[in-house]
Structure 1
Amino acid sequence: MGPKVKEMPVVSKMFCSSTQVVLGVRTRPHVVGGGGFVVTDLHSHAVVFRVDGCGVVGKKDQITLADAYQTPLLLIRRKGGIVEALSLYKQWGGYAPDYVGSQKLVFTLKDPNACFANNRPVRVSIEQKDESIYFQINGYFQDKECSIVDSGGNVIAQVGVSKEMMETKDLYHVVVKPGIDQAFVVGVIAVLDYIHNGSTRC
Structure 2
Amino acid sequence: MAPKVAEKSADFYDKQNFEGPIHHFALNAVSHLYPKKIVDVYQSVNTGVGAKVHCWHHLDYDGRHAEIEGPNADLKAIADLTCFSIDKADTQVIQFNFVDKTGGNPKDYSLTLDLAGVGRKILYSNDGPDYKLAGIISPSAGTLTTAVYLRNEKSGVYLATGSIYFKWNAEKKEVDIDSEKFWPKQLTHERQGPTKFLITLISNKAST
TM-score, reference length from structure 2: 0.26
Q: Bigger relative contact order, structure 1 or 2, given CA contacts below 8 A and separation 6+?
A: 1
Greater helix proportion:
1
Greater strand proportion:
2
